[in-house]
Amino acid sequence: MTKDEVIKILYDRYIKPTENKDGSFIGVEIEMPVVNLSHKAVNFDIVHKLTELFLKNFDFIPTGIDDHGHIYSALNKTNGDVFSYDCSYNNMEFSFGRESELHTIYGRFRRYYDFVQDHFKDFNYTLTGMGINPNRMVNDNVPIENGRYKMLFHHLSSFSKYACLPMYFHRYPQFGMFSSASQVQLDVTKDRLPQVINTFNQLEPIKALLFSNSVLLGENTDLLCCRDMLWENSTHGINPHNVGMYDCEIKSVDDLLNYISTTAIYCVERNGKYLNFKPVNLLEYFNTETLIGEYLENGEICSMEFHPQPEDIAYLRTFKSEDLTFRGTIEFRSACCQPISDAMTVAAFHIGLLDKTEELAELINNDHSLYNNGYNAVELRRQLVCRVKPAYINTDSLYTLAKQVIDLCRQGLIERGYGEEIYLAPLYDRIENRTNPALTMLNQLESGAHIDKIIKEYGSQACP
C-alpha cells in the first residue's frame, strides 16, 4: 500500500467527518475513583450490585459484559449517555451524549452521581474527584475480565521487552486502573483543525497550572500531575507520536494527516479475539504481509498470524493531548479528574476558548512571563506539572497570564449565551489563591488533615 493510499484511509476516517458539520456539540467524559473509606480493597461485588441498580433506575441497557457475566458498560438510548468502568472496576466513568450546552450535561451528572453516592454510603464507599485513586496501594488493580482489557494490561506490562529502546519506562503498567481523567470532545470543522490543535497545544502549560490533580501519594509528591508521565513513559509511548503533545507545528490538514501517518498501531481484532503486537508505524504496518499477534485463550497467552487489512485503521489508538477522533471531534485528554464540585470546569474551559483561538494565539505569542523564554510548549508543560516552578518564572506574572486566559474563556462563554461562565468560578479561585487541586491537597495533608477528610471534600457536590 502506498503512502497516498494510507493517507486516503486516514482522510476518510478522521478528516471527512469534520466536513459539513451540522452544529457545534459537546461531549463530556468524567472518570472517578471508587474509594473504600475503610482503606481496604474495593469489593467488586458491591460495585456490580450498584451497576445493576443504576441500569434499572436510569433505563440503561448493557453494552459490555465481562467473562464472568458482569456489566462494565451500558447505554441510555434516549440521550446517548454511557455508564462504564474504565480498565478496572476501581474506576467509574460517565460519558454524556452530545449536547449543545453544559447545563443539561451537568444536570444529568448530578443525578447519576447522587444515585451512586447514596448507594455507596451504606458500604462506607464513595466516589471522589481525584486523578489518582488515593487507595491505589491497597486496591486490587486488576483489569476488567475480558479479552480487550486483559490484553491491554498485557501490552502495558510488556515494557521489559523493550530494554533496547532509548526511553524510560515507569513501573506502573496498571496505571489505567487507578488514574482518572476529565475529558471533553468538541466539534471542529476541517478548516479550523490546524489552528485549534496548534493553539490548544500551546495552552497545555497553563492547563497544567490550573488543573493538576494527580499525585502518587506515598511515593512522589513533587509531581502534581503524573498523568503525562504515566502515559508517555509506558508502552503507549514507544512511538511518542501516539501520546502527549505535538512537538511540531501543524500548519495544514495535510500536515495533520502526515503526522497521523507516523503513529503506530499495536492491536487489532480477529475472529472476536483481541490481538496485541509490538507497535508498528502505520505505513510499515500496511506494507507488511503478515504479523504475529498475541491473544488470550483460557487464561493463556497464545499467538496468531494475521494479515493487515485497511479496516484495521479502526484499531488505531492514539492518546494525544489534542486528539482528532473518527467522530469529527477533537478530544482534549490531558486534564485530570477534578474535585466533583468543579466537575464542569474542564469542559467550560475548552468550550469558552474554542472560538477564541485567534485571540488566544495572539496572547501566547506576545507573552514573556512564560512563553518566549527559550522553552517550547512541551518543555513548559513538563515544568508546570511539578510542584517547584523554575526560577525564571515570576509567579505573579504567570498567574496574571492565567487570568487573561480565563477572562478570554469567560468572554467566549458569555457570547454563547447559555450562562456557562458560572462554571469558571473555581478557576478564578485557583488563580487568586495560586493553587490547583493537587497543591491544595498536599498543603492540607502537610497541615495535618487526614486523607479521608480530603477524599470526602473532593467528592462533595456543590451547586456552581
- pLDDT at residue 19 in the model: 94
Residue 190 has pLDDT above 80, yes or no: yes
- Provide the pLDDT confidence category of residue 461 given band limits of 50, 70 and 90: confident
pLDDT above 80 for 88: yes
CA neighbor of 57 nearest in space, from 76, 33, 84, 79: 76
Residue 266 has pLDDT above 90, yes or no: yes
Cα 449 from Cα 282, distance rounded (Å): 50
Sign of CA dihedral 19, 20, 26, 32: negative
Taking Cα atoms as reference points, which of 225, 222, 189 lies closest to residue 207? 225
- In tens, the pLDDT along 118-156 reads 999 999 999 999 999 999 999 999 999 999 999 999 999
In the chain, how many H helices and how many E strands? 15, 15
Q: Could you write out the three-class secondary structure of 333-372?
A: CCCECCCHHHCCHHHHHHHHHHCCHHHHHHHHHHCCCCCC
pLDDT tens string 13-50: 999 999 987 778 999 999 999 999 999 999 999 999 99
How far apart CA 183 and CA 95 sit, in angstroms, is 9
Q: What is the mean pLDDT of residues 208-237?
A: 97
**Candidate from 108-112, 118-122, 460-464 with smallest mean pLDDT:** 460-464
Q: What is the pLDDT of residue 463?
A: 52
pLDDT of residue 296: 92
Give the model's pLDDT for residue 84.
98
Amino acid at 393: I
Rounded distance, CA 374 to CA 389, Å?
16
Average confidence (pLDDT) over 438-460: 97
Average pLDDT (400-404) is: 98
Question: What is the share, in percent, of the chain residues with pLDDT greater than 70?
Answer: 99
